[in-house]
Amino acid sequence: MTSEQATLAGGCFWCTEAIYNNVAGVSKVESGYTGGDVADPDYRSVCSGTTGHAEAVRLTYNPAEIGYGDLLDIFFATHDPTQLNRQGNDVGTQYRSAIFYEGDEQKKIAEASKKAAQANFDKPIVTEITKAETFYPAENYHQEFYFQNKTKNGYCKYIIEPKLKKLKLDH
């Protein structure tokens, strides 16, 4: 099986990870940090807003099962890409909307996807489209966060679950 990677930031990585863990053709979703200028960041430093990193997910997917453009359609449908440096109550540059492309083809698809998605929003989309850099995996307790905490964590119930329901309705 040939696999490819996509790196996306759409607010809190717990939400984005939970969404893509439910997508056919995606074999791995890893929460982490990217887009900044500090090596080996941790959650506390990223939350301080001083590292330049965004909370992001790195997807491993099979392009024969799901295309990069389809992954981006899900991305734009499951967060608000018109909010600058925030998603809802999560505020800061670490929660920005960004697509970190790997190669010219992904960049081209990302730009076209962003342009097409604009038709679904009244405000301008502020999603950054940036070349992928080093991806730093988040601490273990962030991996599979929704799956491990969905019955005991309010964020999972009130923030992540509605996004998962929206995904099921839209796709």
156 as an active site residue: the answer is: no
The 8 Å CB, 24+ separation contacts for 103-108 are 105/68, 106/6, 106/68, 107/131
Predicted confidence (pLDDT) per residue in 57-79, tens digit: 999 999 999 999 999 999 999 99
Predicted confidence (pLDDT) per residue in 146-169, tens digit: 677 677 766 666 677 777 776 665
Q: How confident is the model at residue 81 (pLDDT cuts 50, 70, 90)?
A: very high
Q: What is the pLDDT of residue 10?
A: 94
Q: What is the pLDDT of residue 117?
A: 97
Domain ranges of the chain: 4-170
Q: Which CATH superfamily is domain 4-170 in?
A: Peptide methionine sulphoxide reductase MsrA (3.30.1060.10)
- Say if residue 53's pLDDT is above 90: yes
Q: What is the pLDDT of residue 167?
A: 65
The catalytic residue among 12, 15, 47, 156 is: 12
Choose between 153 and 5: higher pLDDT.
5
- Say if residue 115's pLDDT is above 70: yes
Q: What is the pLDDT of residue 9?
A: 97
97-101 and 128-131 beta bridge pairing? parallel
